[in-house]
Amino acid sequence: MTLALRDTQTHCYDDYLTWPDDVRYELIDGVAYVMAPTPDLAHQDIAGEIFRQAANILAGKSCRVFIAPVDVRLPKKDEADEHIDTLVQPDVMVVCDSSKLDRPGIRGAPDWIVEVLSPSTASHDQTKKRALYELHGVREYWLVHPVDRVLTVYCLINGEYGKPDVYELRGETQVKALPDIVIQWNELLERLPVDY
């Protein structure tokens, strides 16, 4: 399943700012994708737990962790904000360069991004967003597969992701790009519904 398009026009951040707040969108190369409806409780529990653990570890340090919805503007070069045609809202992200943070959100690639997959976003997250994050230099990209209890990790090496590492969601997983961050899975998995 792929995300629905807002329309067939090409858009930029200036357009995005005029749209009503009751529907969330992401822009990729000017194409506006309608974000999935409110995620289910298990999705939120996973994203929230990853955010909580990362925030506890990063307390008092220069890197900052954020949880959706936060607008991440990804300029192609040095264009002004209003001309940026790519904007995403990852589930969880860490930014270590404070110059990327401003009132509207984040301008530039976060160091680490986590997307929790759901049936309505899995294809989009695994294809379009993976290619987008690689292109813009996201150092590490995690895809959490709640149903299969699997984690897919892409690490940027020489500007490319290459073959991902795949782990079972158990024990702990260290963020290679940010070695201080180690995510613990067992307690979280005990809370998730068996049918998820």
pLDDT band at residue 195 using 50, 70 and 90 as cut-offs: low
- At the topology level, CATH places domain 38-191 in tt1808, chain A (3.90.1570)
Distance (Å, rounded) from C-alpha 88 to C-alpha 75?
11
* Residue 19 β-bridge partners: none
The tokens for 194 are 């068996």
pLDDT computed for residue 7 by the predictor: 74
Among 4-8, 31-35, 180-184, the minimum mean pLDDT is found in 4-8
Which H or E element spans position 62? Answer: none
Q: Using a pLDDT cut of 90, give the percent of the chain over it.
A: 78
Judged against a pLDDT cut of 60, whether residue 1 lies above it is answered with no
Residue type, 121: T
Q: How far is CA 19 from CA 8, 23, 78, 107, 176, in A?
A: 15, 8, 24, 20, 37
Average pLDDT over residues 44-59: 97
Q: What is the pLDDT of residues 54-91, one digit of tens each?
A: 999 999 999 999 999 999 999 999 999 999 999 999 99
pLDDT band at residue 177 using 50, 70 and 90 as cut-offs: very high
Distance (Å, rounded) from C-alpha 29 to C-alpha 177?
26
The tokens for 137 are 């230099």
pLDDT computed for residue 93 by the predictor: 98
Alpha helices in 127-178 (DSSP H): 128-136
**Reported pTM:** 0.94
